[in-house]
A and B are shown apart, each in its own frame.
Chain A
């Protein structure tokens, strides 16, 4: 078998090429003997399907390149990009293979400690995505792999930036990390109970053991902002390993932001003249001037007493 040359870009955006040999539909072997996953557009697809597939591929490359540039070391809980191309007739993303096996078939055989490690891996992946403003968008058993020690959250094709509207969704909602936490909650519930929770359903936690009910407390809150964060879920799981800190790109751009703000000061919001919110005390009506009675009584008493003493002396 011969090797083909695949040209594209490395994760930093520089031009790169690889010698590859197809192994099966989505796996290739490089000239150095490494097996990689090659994901590309479907060959037989309608224009509409092709456009959707392009968006998914673009999402995946965007999320993976962001993880690569923002984290200085590889993250075991998330996939790793090797290269990509989005300009040619046949765009692709080249990835390291996922660890272990996809857990789509269920996880009922996990021991208690394995189950805890599985959940820690899942929420570490979400915390690491959240730290670089990414929302996975399709957390589920089919997007999780497990090698007996580590969980890996794969398939970032639905990932978008926090606060952005997914391009293939037309309902106008914007991505929030709380959506991932809820989806992970469904996985955890199924892990404990073996019962599948449908996408829009909220499981009944009251009837569940305290360990599960307290772990998932607030996870299914209708308001994603009120759900626990992935970091808070790790605290509930007593995970003490520190999370890697991503590169702060905003700080690298801060001098530019400051200079812009001095050139074009932000518009000051017109704040209406504030009205006192606490009612002022009603003015006390002026009372008619009165002669104080107590001092008068004292004066009268003293005068009477003085007269009495004077009479007695006389």
Chain B
């Protein structure tokens, strides 16, 4: 058994801090009687390597000090590295958050950011198994279901290693758009914004730029306004790194200047703050032209923010919820790269200029 530690950590789920203790480790068991958490006994394992391997698959139960959330567990690696980078996806229902996150994690785990010295690996076997099923489903050309309401948990938990050898946990939250505006006990789903270290605000053309096709203006973005309202209680709110993302940009693939950016394949090129600024500037001017005030407002509120166009799937799903020519993500890693650069995890002199 690991020596008990008194280090305090903040739980990314309930946002309470607690003394991290490994005298009781847990693992998830699924058998005929269902799925449940059981205590893991590593005391009989004397082989150090084997013990490390078994420990890495264990969880620590959060004592849930606030008693607001359901019982929840954190992967044991949560305290092995530095403070986690907690990235939250904020966006209304059907804005494309889930497809974006799924395509993004798929490419990150595939190693597509290694040219920037960043490698990723799953650190939460249990949650990642569920997330991997989503990835597999999407890559087979199936549209994913909408995110379930009132989801309090994070979507996936990875470790990211930088070129200089820094390893940090990176946690992604993806909750239903409606959860940002729930009140009372139902407000827990969107509360991750209170502990997030970086945010991705996502909206899609139909609601962000309805004027483009002559449609009626959408006068509210309750997910954005709800998240911003809750974040207003944080003293450091304006200092958070933020990426504002126009998703489903394949719908605009023939619109200037989206047509240029969506076809750019520059992920292997060295980090270039000027190129990131150039995309942000073009997207800002495009959104300004079509009065996408909610996205512009978010960008303006933060001291370091970038704007991006992405397509998680490459095309619309058909009436059978299938992507008929397969899934072809475009530029899904650019917002993540920008956030990690703004979070100080990209070892490149240009990183300090990103989003400024």
Contact = CB atoms under 8 A, between A and B. Distances in A.
A256 B263 contact: no
Contacts of B253: 58, 62, 86
Interface in B302-352: 315-316, 318, 324-325
Contacts of A65: 254
A267 interface: yes
Nearest to B318: A88
A12 B214 CA distance: 11
Contact of A266 (B277, B299, B318): B277
A294 to B, nearest CB: 68
A164 interface: yes
Contact of A264 (B255, B280, B287, B289): B280
A14 interface: yes
Interface residues of A, number: 32
A272 interface: no
Nearest to A161: B260
B213 A87 contact: no
A206 to B, nearest CB: 42
Contacts of B265: 167
Contacts of B250: 87
Sorting the interface of chain B by its residue count into under 10, 10 to 19, 20 to 34 or 35 or more gives 20 to 34
A257 interface: yes
Contact of B289 (A54, A87, A252): A252
A249 B289 CA distance: 10
A253 B286 contact: yes
B324 A88 contact: yes
Contacts of A256: 284-289
Interface string A232-268: 0000000000000000010011111101110110110
Interface string A24-60: 0000000000000000000000000000001000100
B315 A87 contact: yes
Given A61-B254, A86-B315, A89-B325, A257 B213 contact: no
Q: Which secondary structure characterizes the binding site on chain B?
A: helix
A271 B281 CA distance: 24
B277 A264 contact: yes
Given A13-B254, A87-B316, A260 B281 contact: yes
Given A13-B213, A13-B255, A253 B285 contact: yes
Contacts of B274: 267
A66 B213 contact: no
B288 A255 contact: yes
Contacts of B213: 12-14
A264 B356 contact: yes
B8 to A, nearest CB: 38
Contacts of B41: none
A69 B325 CA distance: 27
Contacts of A86: 253, 315
Interface string B273-285: 1100100110011
Closest 7 CB pairs of A and B: A256-B288, A256-B285, A89-B324, A253-B285, A87-B315, A65-B254, A260-B284
Interface of A: 12-14, 54, 58, 61-62, 65-66, 69, 86-89, 91, 161, 164, 167, 249, 252-257, 259-261, 263-264, 266-267
Given A164-B260, A259-B284, A260-B280, 4 more contacts: A69-B256, A164-B263, A167-B265, A267-B356
